[in-house]
Amino acid sequence: MPYHSNPLDLAFHALSDPTRRAVVSRLADGEAAVSDLAEPFNMALPSFTQHLKVLEDCGLIASEKRGRSRWCRLVPERFDEAAVWMEAERRRWAGRLDRLEVYLDTKEEEDGRYQESD
Amino acid sequence: MPYHSNPLDLAFHALSDPTRRAVVSRLADGEAAVSDLAEPFNMALPSFTQHLKVLEDCGLIASEKRGRSRWCRLVPERFDEAAVWMEAERRRWAGRLDRLEVYLDTKEEEDGRYQESD
């Protein structure tokens, strides 16, 4: 991603990969050690930790070392930011369709009246 | 994006750019001609149409030629697919926090009882 990318750019970029989305899904259920997170994926650990780095760099997850393991958890604020943007667009779109429906209903009613008075 | 990317990968990738998100926002208000869509952006038309191509290739928008203009419209199904995924994760996360709260409340209550009987 270009160096000037904003947080929302980075969050959506991070979510554009199925492995990274699967990690987010898993962490939505609670924190997990990197080794447990990696377990379901048929992937070399360095490739997997690269995915974790993308998620951590954009602020979707955080991690900390505990003894010999590194643990990851979801950071909901960044995720919410992206989800809120999507929901706002959906509502705007839905609002537009509602207004269109009201307009078409009114038009139909008016057309009906004109036909009755013909 | 790699050739095997799935629709959700492509949708999130398309949304990882501020110009493309602005186009989606504008089209949520209704269809628009490419020239009107491009107008607010300080960008050469070929670069702008490249952004439209990314949005169209992943199915977030559709376009058609009318006379001498090309018109674009949002395709809500693909957008909804991405929004639904995000909302499901958020709910899962919220559900986990609710369960944690219930657990902590119960624990606090129990701890209180133990202290009373001390």
Contact A79 B93 (CB under 8 A): yes
Do B28 and B60 lie in one domain? The reply is yes
Residues of B in contact with A93 (CB under 8 A): 28, 74, 76, 79
Do B66 and B14 lie in one domain? The reply is yes
Domain with A35 in it: 7-74
C-alpha distance from A116 to closest chain B C-alpha (Å): 33
∠ CA B24-B58-A12, nearest 5°, is 65
What confidence score (pLDDT) does residue A3 get? 55
Residues 6 or more apart in contact with residue A43 via CB below 8 angstroms: A19
How many interchain CB pairs under 8 A, A with B? Answer: 83
Q: Does the pLDDT value for residue B17 go beyond 80?
A: yes
Number of domains in chain B: 2
What confidence score (pLDDT) does residue A108 get? 81
C-alpha distance from A101 to closest chain B C-alpha (Å): 14
**Residue in chain B nearest A30 by alpha carbon:** B96
Domain contains B2: no
Do B70 and B80 lie in one domain? The reply is no
Torsion A11-A45-A63-A26 (CA) sign: positive
Q: In angstroms, rounded to a whole number, what is the distance separating the alpha carbons of residues A13 and A54?
A: 9
Give the tens place of pLDDT for each residue, A25-84. 999 989 999 999 999 999 999 999 999 999 999 999 999 999 999 999 999 888 888 988
- The model's confidence at residue A4, banded by pLDDT at 50, 70 and 90, is low
Stretch B51-64: mean pLDDT: 96
Do A32 and A85 lie in one domain? The reply is no
Domain contains A55: yes
**Residue in chain B nearest A94 by alpha carbon:** B28
Residues of B in contact with A16 (CB under 8 A): 1, 5, 9-13, 16
What confidence score (pLDDT) does residue A2 get? 53
On whether any CB of chain A is under 8 Å from the CB of B1, the answer is yes
On whether any CB of chain A is under 8 Å from the CB of B21, the answer is yes
Do A36 and A47 lie in one domain? The reply is yes
Do A37 and A93 lie in one domain? The reply is no
Q: In angstroms, rounded to a whole number, what is the distance separating the alpha carbons of residues B55 and B106?
A: 49
- The model's confidence at residue A102, banded by pLDDT at 50, 70 and 90, is confident
On whether any CB of chain A is under 8 Å from the CB of B10, the answer is yes
User: CATH number of the domain that A15 lies in?
Assistant: 1.10.10.10
Do A11 and A58 lie in one domain? The reply is yes
Stretch B4-26: mean pLDDT: 92
Domain contains B48: yes
Do A64 and A104 lie in one domain? The reply is no
Interface ipTM:
0.80
Do A97 and A45 lie in one domain? The reply is no
What confidence score (pLDDT) does residue A112 get? 79
Q: Does the pLDDT value for residue A116 go beyond 70?
A: no
Domain contains B1: no
